[in-house]
Amino acid sequence: MIMLYSSALGFTTILDLLGTFAFAVSGIRWASTKKFDWFGAYVIGLVTAIGGGTTRDLLLNVTPFWMQDATYLIITGVALLATLLFRNGLFRWGRALFLFDSIGLGLFTVVGIGKSLEAGFPFWVCIMMGAITGSVGGVIRDVLLNEIPLLFRKDIYALACIAGGIVYMICYRSGLSASLTELLAALTVISIRIIAVRYHVQLPFLKPLHPDPDNKEDKE
């Protein structure tokens, strides 16, 4: 599946690069709000793009994917260059960037599930690995920027990966071809993500719990 992914499907490879580009731009954009220098912005872009897959690979006990292929470092460099050259002009493409980001999320999820299945893990682990691949990069980005991770307040991100993972598993068990399984799972992630953002779909928030229930003010 991975072989198929990286050689035959040129179309998938292009989508993977676009997803990486969108993730890196998102990191660089956030870094720019914190007065980072160019090198710092590059690091944040890189971590956003590869952090999820690296966490997955460490948990699966395999060599992180970006240590076997310099493409991800180069794409991040291109993202930094594009940001420096076009600056805010880049964000006229806001809608395209959001689309790339959603496509990246769908692909990263599918790649994460495929790698975990190959490593022989049970389904529920594979679904978690798909969600980790898609969402942990953004969490590390937010931690490095000294912010509370957006993920914990904008849940439909990781939940979209989990829904895609469930679709993947149903297709896989039903004996669908690998390509069709991957396509349906990725489309699930992408469409849930787009619908959630467009219609502001959110999970309920957890109300503050106090040791003393009479103390109701929220200090945040």
Residues in contact with a copy of itself by the rule CB under 8 A: 28-29, 31-41, 43-44, 54, 58-59, 61-64, 67, 70, 73, 83-84, 87-88, 90-91, 94, 121, 124-125, 128, 139, 143-149, 151-153, 155, 158-159, 202-211, 213, 218-220
In the complex, minimum distance from the CB of residue 79 to a copy of itself, in angstroms, rounded to a whole number: 12
Contact 20/72 with Cβ under 8 angstroms?
Answer: yes
Question: Cα separation of 139 and 145, whole Å?
Answer: 10
Residue with smaller CB distance to a copy of itself, 12 or 51? 51
Angle 156-173/94-118 helices, nearest 10 degrees?
50
Residue with smaller CB distance to a copy of itself, 149 or 187? 149
Please say whether the dihedral angle defined by the alpha carbons of residues 56, 58, 59 and 65, taken in this order, is positive or negative: positive
Please say whether the dihedral angle defined by the alpha carbons of residues 126, 201, 141 and 29, taken in this order, is positive or negative: positive
Residue with smaller CB distance to a copy of itself, 33 or 174? 33
In the complex, minimum distance from the CB of residue 213 to a copy of itself, in angstroms, rounded to a whole number: 4
Question: Cα separation of 177 and 208, whole Å?
Answer: 47
In the complex, minimum distance from the CB of residue 11 to a copy of itself, in angstroms, rounded to a whole number: 27
Question: Cα separation of 113 and 5, whole Å?
Answer: 13
In the complex, minimum distance from the CB of residue 49 to a copy of itself, in angstroms, rounded to a whole number: 14
